[in-house]
Structure 1
């Protein structure tokens, strides 16, 4: 109960800080965009593209982390560009008031980015604990026959068995790319598994 309360209050605090920081950061960016010639809907929507890019990139990174997949390079670049853009816009907004003004103006953007990352950390931690709990206390009946055997086999044997089964099955055989995507491994590793299993030339 105590751990759940700590996580709940922390999440609420992070969301509250992120909401306040987002409003202030948006206001700074809106005023900056409007001061440089944009008006109407364009001036209102441009700041949303910056913070929206940070959110979208963070979600992609979180999804990759939860699935234990490599983080896409585009997501990392988008997150970096979004952070630079939002911090830069807020610094530019306060630059007319000197160094202190620029630092004060930049703070909401930094708080927003930090809140995003804290929220991602909380989500990843909660997912890891849930996965560990479900793995340690299995209540569902174990599947019969082949499913249990597959779970106990090493990954290489699973890939090879699926490849060989599809060779003699109906329809088009499964490709090495499909096997790599399904099992979350590199295509070159799939190719090596298949090559190693093939019989060599007779002596």
Structure 2
């Protein structure tokens, strides 16, 4: 630093790194707790369902595999719903129905295991299944929301460090300002549509709703939104 310039050095505040570290700690500790609870609940729930299946005529490999079909149905349905949520597309009704069916089946099997000990026994036996389903859905919720936290973390506040040397004559100060870059106003669907139908736009043709639904795998409202956006590109004379 020179006396003539009398610069002000800006030191970045540790606020942002601390917030990022806190968010990461919360996210990973919660994920670890959910995984631990889900693992214990899955083992107990499987044992309950296995004994129920054996009690009603199945044995050997079949008795060991049938409980896995219930948990596998819950997993597959939840993953389909997660995929739809991350792509911004409507969740298939079949996935919702199968998820509900899988939850009902695993709860019923666990409750049947403890039914011989009365209502309280049935509730105690059904609890691992409820804990398993709840833990798994919490984990899926965290995965859906992952990546959105950084958007709400405030920017660091710079702390100026002033030169206190009395022999320096005050002069003009220079403060560096960080101007945030404007984000792309288009959503993911519009970007995907522009890329997917680049050839059609190049010849001045707007794809139909049916074509958009088929190639982008979206519902009617999202397809209409994409077609309106592509039509606006042609109207502005900006084909991809």
TM range (shorter): 0.7 to 0.9
* Residue pairs, 1:9-88, within 5 angstroms: 9-88=29-108
* Residue pairs, 1:97-116, within 5 angstroms: 97-116=117-136
Report if the CA contact (8 A) 2:197-2:207 is conserved: no
Give the alignment partner of residue 212 of structure 2, picking from 176, 179, 183.
179
- Structure showing greater Rg: 2
- Give per-residue Cα distances to partners, 1:47-90, cap 9 Å, x unaligned: 00001100111111111111111001111011000000000000
Specify the alignment match of 1:91 in structure 2.
111
CA distance in 1, matches of 2:148, 2:69: 31
Secondary structure of the equivalent of 2:58? coil
1 or 2 for the larger relative contact order (CA 8 Å, sep ≥6)? 2
Segments of 5+ residues of structure 2 without an aligned counterpart are: 1-20, 153-183, 233-240
Specify the alignment match of 1:189 in structure 2.
224
Kindly report the root-mean-square deviation, in angstroms, between the aligned alpha carbons of the 2 structures: 3.6
Report if the CA contact (8 A) 1:90-1:105 is conserved: yes
Cα distance change, pair 166–82 in 1 and its aligned pair in 2 (3 A): farther
CA distance in 2, matches of 1:125, 1:6: 13
Report if the CA contact (8 A) 1:66-1:127 is conserved: no
Of Structure 1 and Structure 2, the greater helix share is in 1
Report if the CA contact (8 A) 1:11-1:119 is conserved: yes
Report if the CA contact (8 A) 2:209-2:220 is conserved: no
> Cα offset for 1:3?
1.4
Cα distance change, pair 31–166 in 1 and its aligned pair in 2 (3 A): farther
> Cα offset for 1:182?
2.3
CA distance in 1, matches of 2:41, 2:99: 17
Cα distance change, pair 162–23 in 1 and its aligned pair in 2 (3 A): same
Segments of 5+ residues of structure 1 without an aligned counterpart are: 134-147, 198-203
Q: What is the TM-score when the length of structure 2 is the normalising length?
A: 0.62
CA distance in 2, matches of 1:115, 1:41: 28
Number of positions where the alignment pairs a residue of Structure 1 with one of Structure 2: 176
Cα distance change, pair 43–89 in 1 and its aligned pair in 2 (3 A): same
Report if the CA contact (8 A) 2:111-2:126 is conserved: yes
Q: What is the TM-score when the length of structure 1 is the normalising length?
A: 0.73
Q: Which consecutive segments of 4 or more residues in structure 1 shift more than 4 A?
A: 157-164, 173-176
Report if the CA contact (8 A) 1:166-1:174 is conserved: no
> Cα offset for 1:176?
4.2
CA distance in 2, matches of 1:78, 1:183: 21
